[in-house]
Amino acid sequence: MIPLAVSCNSAALAGVLSALKKIIRLIQIIGPILLIIAIALNVFKLLSNPDDKKIPKKILNSVIAAVLLFFIPMFVNLVMSLMGENFNVSACWNSAGNVTSSSSYSNTNGGSPKSFINSSSDYEK
């Protein structure tokens, strides 16, 4: 469990929240697509066997699940943005999208970047 006193400057927390946001976004995209495929298969089953009474309920449940999978992440982001910066968790959640995993070379001495890999001839034998 993460204590509420944790600072958003923590790289671990920022990485976890950023990964969680990416996973939620992925579920938001892929989930409804898979459910639409399931709905199409159920409609095909219903057309081939119109007497089956369970298939319309499966179709309705799939439609509801697709709508929820699409809108729940948007609702979570809306709630977190409405809470503002006063609530620590929402502040961290809102700033998690700004985390980048790539780093760049920062030249502080005015020279050109040097290779860290040396040739084997530089070592004594």
Write out the chain in H/E/C secondary structure.
CCCCCCCCCCHHHHHHHHHHHHHHHHHHHHHHHHHHHHHHHHHHHHHHCCCCCCHHHHHHHHHHHHHHHHHHHHHHHHHHHHHCCCCHHHHHHHHHHHCCCCCCCCCCCCCCCCCCCCCHHHCCC
Q: Give per-residue pLDDT as tens, 13-23.
A: 777 888 888 88
Question: Per-domain residue ranges for the chain?
Answer: 32-94
Global confidence as pTM: 0.58
Q: Give per-residue pLDDT as tens, 28-85.
A: 888 888 988 999 999 999 899 888 889 899 889 988 988 888 888 888 878 877 877 6
